[in-house]
Chains A and B, each alone.
Chain A
């Protein structure tokens, strides 16, 4: 925000269009007018971006000021008399718009038949695809169309010029057609000054000026992170999403939270009928308050409407899939599971699932199947990890991602936040740009290093040694500096995770909260699913289970540990899967593991059914059902409830799967504010020779931990995504 409002800023009075308006010192005319409900047209201004003053449409007349200052860049002053909509100004704007449109396909904009054409489509084919609006992905929400109407522009005196720039389509998510670009520079500014991806730039100059990348590199080569923020702010159809491009304009938008990573970003999903058109600001608005990353922005539609989505229950008959009804499928499952009750049974769920589903799944396992073998896949390196983190948060207060901006120095430990938690990366970059200390340590250099004041590289698998050194140094410090440690994959997923986490928690506890910890949990509901009891040693509310079950690794560790598995999502095929007596997979797609499944159930995801999650900050966030999904899809909770009924056991819940237990949400809320005091101790100085395993930052682990949904690999689902992630 450019208009930083200081706490003690003076209040000024000025007159806008003969209305007296109160405003704060430092505000621009545009901001003040907008606050007073006065519309000033503009194409380059956006509240979330620094001002540029390029389009010149917001020019206003100020008494005693020379010329026509732009409202977006001129600070308001006491007693200013401002006119925003005189005939002279409107004429001026009309002429500027005329100039803008002289290089933008405008045939439809000033066509006499515009109204009829929009309503009845009677002359759709009057103009070529490149000279009019009908084939533009932004037709209907274009800011130029609005302005033409607002300024009543009916004629353009310049002949149309088509720049004839070949559209760029070489990335998986969006297309760039700079023939439609009006050079407002919003994409350039959001890329450089909000996301700090530093990919887009103005190239060439004058009439030949274009948006592009330095040295004509491809987006990927130039370092594009595919956050899609540029598409959200584009006022024209110059940048458009491949997925929703031809779906048409959305008919509804809903707010929800993203469940791909642990941050749980708020997002707006625009839908048309049963389809997601895109994720981004509501149509008609380019204001982009919820910044997202590649996964949140582009994957939901690609994934949910994937052509390979399985929408019917299937039974495996000698290696061939037979489509069956739900009743038939549930009968088969019930019949087989009756034989496998008790410790022979295991259930593996997903940390992408909602709290509600997780709660019912563990209840099914523990109550219906009388087994304690319930866990998530991928599992945490030790079962109590989330509870340890929770206890820390509950006793020291939850750490939010915006704490990154207020800490004095930030340690980023063993994390590839650029891809795994892009919004946290964004906050780190913001903190760095604001002059904060950013200290990065990892076994490989990540892009975060570019935004760091210090980078330390440790050997692969030696994170525990670095951690030990760091925590001992910090423990000696007596300064008042507030330190935030962002704890990433190499620490959390290492086979030494318990020591690592203990070490950090010990430091944090002893520092009296001067050192705070933010744990980068990979999936959206890792915290919430564990809290809801999807854990072999912990019951809902993190209560210790009297009977301890096997975790995912042990269930799959050796063949015949258990004889039946109910799996939500997907997991890597191992020998144990092949030896199972009975295997149910409840997923969106057939995967390599499906080959060994006896029954396959079509899954209704949280995008289709809603629910709640607890993000890595420990906030309980609602998920809304975005699209209805196909009729035959069912939630994991619905499916196990059906199984229980078909087995003749007690129903797990009555009524709706989205509210399986009246006590659940209150339990979650209570737990989040309450924790045990933990006794943490510093670990012994680690043996330098032995290296940790599992947590290392590589493209492979990145994909394993972060680019999956319910275990389904995203690069397998989205063409070219693997190429984007190649480093």
Chain B
């Protein structure tokens, strides 16, 4: 089932080095790229059906075409490498094992959108990753792939790595821009969207690492080669990070559209220790959970996930076996988002705090069934009522656990212990 498009060079020794990468075809597309018109590049990417790999899945080519023309201002590209979503660990592979694929992608994107300054915003915790990335960028500058004349062409491109300081919210695109500008990472109100008013008030495109890294293949092999993988609306391949209660957790590149259970069984070795499946978190902690029953019909693509009331997300699949205490999981989940709220909007700042307090109370055995309802009500009051979607990233999954596993919360309310513990005792 596994494919090797993005991960083609991942297993080669020293693949992060320019010399090795070039031996295996890095920067080979540039010849072809500079022979194309920028508009044709955008058209090709549109045809490939490449969707943003950050989680929202917005078509990349369409996003680029939102850039206003002839504003007299520079266009910026910000590459979002603030991979902070719990259970997501795909971009770090690209950064470490094939950074030149990312740089090549940046050149393609910048050529297409007429950008000469790129910022790679990398999360602060990625210390070894940033080192390797910076080495690769330095090598690319030296070899003339970056700088005043990219690959000997009359095209200037500067790439700057900007390290975050450890805030999940900076993965939100406008907070990311604020952070690059040196301000506190707080999202901006939209509209105006970054494509119109972005970094330093100039038109800005923000793309995920994996989206950008997919470009060399698309330009090299053509859009059709890319759409040969995946489904009609979810083209191409994706790096999936499978974690949790499976025998073989890890990062796998798969075409989109495979059945969830097939992937769990055949790629990840099935639920560990021969236990039963309780649920699957399909794409990072902010996506609503799938029950074992729902997982049977779901496939790993944007449409199927939407049909199942959840989201494709970032490819971070978490497998939950039947011993998982959902209430403890929810507490852990809220704790994370509460800690990461920036504090700008009332509902998120205050609301997540109360959700955490109430969940803790339930977990300690002091909750009532009104508390469960209050949690649900808080979810409604918070979701989509804030500047950014951080709060929704918390309330959407929490609501799914509350609705799908309410009996586990009630066990705490009634028996003061988890369903599992109560079951063993009773």
Partner-B contacts on A (CB < 8 A): 51-57, 59, 66-68, 70, 73-75, 92, 95-96, 99-100, 102-103, 157-158, 182-183, 185, 201-202, 204-209
Contact = CB atoms under 8 A, between A and B. Distances in A.
Nearest to A208: B343
Contact of A206 (B184, B341, B354): B341
Contact of A207 (B184, B338, B344, B384): B338
A207 B341 contact: yes
Contact of B341 (A57, A100, A205): A205
Nearest to B381: A95
Contact of A205 (B343, B351, B374): B343
5 contacts: A52-B189, A183-B344, A202-B186, A205-B167, A205-B343
A55 B346 contact: yes
Contact of A100 (B343, B350, B387): B350
Contacts of A100: 346, 350
Given A67-B384, A70-B189, A54 B374 contact: no
Given A183-B349, A204-B343, A207-B341, A67 B385 contact: yes
A157 B374 contact: yes
Given A56-B385, A100-B350, A183 B191 contact: no
B347 A99 contact: yes
A96 B189 contact: no
B340 interface: yes
A195 to B, nearest CB: 17
Nearest to A209: B343
A99 B343 contact: no
B343 A207 contact: yes
A143 to B, nearest CB: 14
Closest 6 CB pairs of A and B: A209-B343, A206-B341, A73-B189, A99-B350, A53-B189, A67-B384
A99 B374 CA distance: 13
B333 to A, nearest CB: 15
A183 B339 CA distance: 17
A56 B346 contact: yes
Nearest to B187: A53
A205 B189 contact: no
A206 B189 contact: no
Contacts of B350: 99-100, 102-103, 207
Q: Kindly name the residue among A51, A74, A103, A206 whose own CB sees the greatest number of chain B CB atoms within 10 A.
A: A206
A135 to B, nearest CB: 24
Interface in B280-325: none
B63 to A, nearest CB: 18
B385 A209 contact: no
B386 interface: yes
Contacts of B341: 205-207
B165 to A, nearest CB: 11
A207 B347 contact: no
Nearest to A192: B183
Contact of A102 (B348, B354, B374): B354
Contacts of A57: 346
A202 B189 CA distance: 17
B353 interface: yes
Nearest to A103: B350
B381 A206 contact: no
Contact of B344 (A54, A95, A96, A99): A54
Contact of B352 (A53, A95, A207): A207
B384 to A, nearest CB: 4
Contacts, number: 89
Contact of B349 (A53, A157, A206): A206
Q: Kindly name the residue among A66, A68, A209 whose own CB sees the greatest number of chain B CB atoms within 10 A.
A: A209
B345 interface: yes
B354 A158 contact: yes
A206 B385 contact: no
Given A67-B384, A207-B353, A53 B345 contact: yes
B219 interface: no
A52 B386 CA distance: 11
B347 A201 contact: no
Contact of B343 (A52, A102, A183): A183
Contacts of B346: 54-57, 96, 99-100, 182-183
Nearest to B192: A75
A86 to B, nearest CB: 15
Contacts of B340: 205-206
A409 B340 CA distance: 45
Contacts of A158: 354
A215 to B, nearest CB: 14
Contacts of B191: 74-75
Contacts of B347: 56, 96, 99
Contacts of B169: 205
B351 A99 contact: yes
B347 to A, nearest CB: 6
Q: Kindly name the residue among B167, B342, B346, B354 whose own CB sees the greatest number of chain A CB atoms within 10 A.
A: B346
A53 B387 contact: yes
A201 B184 contact: yes
Contacts of B184: 201-202
B381 A92 contact: yes
B343 A206 contact: yes
A66 B384 CA distance: 9
A158 B349 CA distance: 14
B343 A202 contact: yes
Interface string B42-76: 00000000000000000000000000000000000
Nearest to B167: A205
Nearest to B339: A206
A68 B354 contact: no
Interface string B362-399: 00000000000010010001001111000000000000
Contacts of A74: 191
A206 B342 contact: yes
Given A52-B344, A96-B385, A183-B349, 4 more contacts: A56-B347, A96-B347, A183-B346, A209-B343
A350 to B, nearest CB: 46
Nearest to A53: B189
A68 B343 contact: no
Contacts of A53: 189, 344-345, 387
A56 B386 contact: yes
Contacts of A205: 167, 169, 340-343
Contacts of A157: 374
Contacts of B384: 66-68
Nearest to A91: B381
Contacts of A68: 384-385
A201 B344 CA distance: 12
Contacts of B189: 51-53, 70, 73
A68 B345 CA distance: 14
Contacts of B186: 202
A528 to B, nearest CB: 44
A99 B354 contact: yes
A185 B189 CA distance: 14
Nearest to A206: B341
Q: Kindly name the residue among A54, A73, A96 whose own CB sees the greatest number of chain B CB atoms within 10 A.
A: A54
Contacts of A95: 377, 381
Contacts of B345: 53-56
A304 to B, nearest CB: 40
B296 to A, nearest CB: 31
A70 B186 CA distance: 17
A31 B272 CA distance: 59
A659 B344 CA distance: 55
A70 B386 CA distance: 9
A51 B343 CA distance: 16
Contacts of A201: 184
A201 to B, nearest CB: 7
A95 B374 CA distance: 11
Contacts of A207: 338, 341, 343, 349-350, 352-353
Contacts of A102: 350, 354
